[in-house]
Amino acid sequence: MSISSILVANRGEIAVRIIRAAQALGIRTVQVHSAADRDMLAVKLADQAVEIGPPSAAKSYLNIEAVLKAARETGVDAVHPGYGFLSENATFAKAVEDAGLIFIGPRHDAISLLGDKVEARKVASRAGVPTVPGSNGRIDDIAAAREIVEEIGFPVMIKAAAGGGGRGIRIAESMEDFERHFPQASAEALAAFGDGGLYVEKVITRARHVEVQILGDGRNAIHCFERECSLQRRRQKVWEEAPSFRLPESVRKALCESAVALAREVGYRGAGTVEYLYDDETGAFYFIEVNTRIQVEHPVTEMITGIDLVQEMIRIAGGAELSIRQEDVVIRGHAIECRINAEDPMRGFLPGPGLVEALGVPEGDGVRFDTMLYDGYQVPPFYDSLLGKLIVWGESRDHCLDRLGEALDNFEIRGLATTIPLHKALASDPSVAAGDVHTRFLEPWLETEFKAFVASKEVA
């Protein structure tokens, strides 16, 4: 079944991205929105808009019945969930399917299977993908958990069996830490995901976060190479690159092939990401989880491969077979994405929604800005602080870093504090330039190098 109309069940920059991809394919778009988002850019760009609830996400973007009601009343063929909100909610995917509509993403059973991190580890093991040493299943009892952590040794990470986004995660350096953090992590997971189940895994001290982009049509699957996502604050990604730097070609090949093997194991349909920890010291890599949706950082993959991942999602959901052969996917150059958030990095990343008084976006070869902003837009205080993503491409990583520095110098969002100064500091940092980073690099760096960078600018 081909798709002629899509309801976008999301907001912000990803909603804009989906609308533009759909319109390029000649597809009618319907944008749902909360009362707080009546003036957002996606509403202005869509062919039709429907208000589905008050500002609270729980009563609008997370309200399955309200979204489905808008879909029925506007007569769309399909629903695109974007990322976040309902994108990895198997109940929502099934409700869309049961309503006779197309869910632009994996089937609900695949979301359910891979969304449970414990079950996903089992799938990875069946596909021959190495996993981080840890519990073989979910743990609901702290006594059983003690035996496991004594066997694998500290430090360990306590993680929610369901969900993601850094919630329900604690690192324990000792048994005393573990016994204190275990009930806290369970309570947070229960509050965030409705499931207090946990599992534990060994902490790789200087791990890098490397993820592989996959595409599947339910019968065949390919990879679109990998991304580096090691620069993280509180387990939230800040800066992403493609391809991963300083990665031996043999490791790249093994990583990507293992991701495809996993996708084929479950008959994966749509776009997804298989995430890994990579140990720089040993060259070993370990499976973490599968994100069964489009990722925030998908543009860096698009920039180095020339593949429009969102359009491919739409085509596949409409019943088309993969139009891309693995041998046709090649890496060209290097791309970096900076997440521009309405947060003040000089004040502990204090959120700062407000009025966009003026917007000066950098332009030029290899520069792209995916955003929801426009002059005069009032950024609401109710949602994630992401304003947009600056993506820069270069012929090499060094060339890309040079272009990124120039783009950031020519970037202005007047009226609200943003993370642009953070990215200027990262783009000029010697350790970042050398690729000498890992998942625990950024937070200590913020207390030393970033403060020094800010002080030098104040003196100048």
Contact 333, 393 (CB under 8 A): yes
How many CA atoms are closer than 13 Å to the CA of 89, on its beta-carbon side?
20
pLDDT-derived band at 68, boundaries 50, 70, 90: very high
Angle at 333 between CA 326 and CA 209, to 5 degrees: 75
At a CB cut-off of 8 Å and minimum separation 6, what does 140 contact?
196, 197, 198
- Is pLDDT of 42 > 80? yes
Clarify whether 293 is annotated catalytic.
yes
The residue-averaged pLDDT of 93-112 equals 97
Amino acid 225 reads F
List pLDDT tens digits, range 304-341. 999 999 999 999 999 999 999 999 999 999 999 999 99
pLDDT of 70 reads 98
Q: Are strands 78-80 and 48-53 parallel, antiparallel or unpaired?
A: unpaired
List pLDDT tens digits, range 142-170. 888 888 888 888 999 998 887 666 666 88
**Residue 441 CB neighbours (<10 A):** 17
Fold of 207-459: D-amino Acid Aminotransferase; Chain A, domain 1 (3.30.470)
**DSSP reduced 3-state for 344:** strand
Question: How far is it, in rounded angstroms, from Cα 130 to Cα 415?
Answer: 48
pLDDT-derived band at 460, boundaries 50, 70, 90: very low
Question: How far is it, in rounded angstroms, from Cα 400 to Cα 391?
Answer: 10
Fold of 5-104: Rossmann fold (3.40.50)
Extended strands (E) in 280-378: 285-291, 334-341, 343-344, 350-351, 358-360, 367-371
Please tell me the CATH superfamily of domain 133-202, with its number.
Answer: ATP-grasp fold, A domain (3.30.1490.20)
Report the Cα–Cα distance between both ends of the chain, in Å, rounded.
61
Task: Using the CB atoms, write b or e for 267-300: b if 16+ within 10 Å.
Answer: bbbbbbbbbbbbbbeeeebbbbbbbbbbbbbbbb
Give me 389's structure tokens.
């993503």
Give me 7's structure tokens.
């309801």
Of the chain, the percentage scoring pLDDT greater than 90 comes to 81
pLDDT of 164 reads 62
Whole-model pTM: value is 0.91
CA 45 from chain centre, in angstroms, equals 24
Question: How far is it, in rounded angstroms, from Cα 51 to Cα 275?
Answer: 35
- Residue matched to tokens 């090499």: 396
Give the H/E segment covering residue 444: helix 442-445
The interaxial angle of helices 175-193 and 142-152, nearest 10 deg, is 120
- Is pLDDT of 280 > 90? no
DSSP 417-429: --SHHHHHHHHT-
- Residue matched to tokens 């060259």: 283
Question: How far is it, in rounded angstroms, from Cα 368 to Cα 366?
Answer: 7
Domain boundaries, the chain: 5-104, 133-202, 207-459
Q: Are strands 343-344 and 334-341 parallel, antiparallel or unpaired?
A: unpaired
Give me 32's structure tokens.
């749902």
Phi then psi for residue 412, to 5 deg, are -140, 130
CA 83 from chain centre, in angstroms, equals 7
Contact 403, 430 (CB under 8 A): no
pLDDT-derived band at 138, boundaries 50, 70, 90: confident
Q: Which of 293, 315, 339, 403 is catalytic?
A: 293
Contact 88, 114 (CB under 8 A): no
